[in-house]
Amino acid sequence: MSRENVEIVRNMYGAFVTGEWERTSELLDPEVEFHGTVGGLEEGRVSRGIEEIRQSFDVDDLEAWDERRFEAEEFVDAGDRVVVLQREYRRGKGSGVELEVETAAVVEVRDGRVVRIQGYMERAAALEAARKT
């Protein structure tokens, strides 16, 4: 089942980062939770459901950034969870400040759909969190 989970997450990630919301929603549970990045500005924030996540990602986040890209570097199988090791690129709106960081996300899959996404500023923290039950 875990290999299947990696494929589900790989497909969801590809659709999510390109803004293909119809395709993304097919892979997300209707009650999916998107938790703000641990160690990031949005830590503690929780978006529930596809529309809240879309609002947070497409509208709220883009108010601060002219450009934002996520590139998956590796998908790590952790059973019911998949750790996505990624690189983020951002350019500040107005300031033009450019940012490139290595981050991660722990994505939990249940019954063939993504039920929870938690971002991490530190990859080691994400890998550790994925090992815990």
Domains by residue range for the chain, with CATH? 2-131 (3.10.450.50)
Q: What is the pLDDT of residues 112-128, one digit of tens each?
A: 999 999 999 999 999 99
Q: What is the pLDDT of residues 35-44, one digit of tens each?
A: 989 998 788 8
Q: Are 8 and 114 in contact (CB under 8 A)?
A: yes
Q: What is the pLDDT of residue 25?
A: 92
Instruction: Report the chain's mean pLDDT, rounded to a whole number.
Output: 90
Residue 34 has pLDDT above 90, yes or no: yes
C-alpha distances (whole Å) from 120 to each of 20, 23, 26, 88, 92 are: 23, 24, 24, 12, 20
Percent of the chain past pLDDT 90, that is, above it, reads: 60
Residue 60 has pLDDT above 70, yes or no: no
Q: Are 98 and 91 in contact (CB under 8 A)?
A: yes
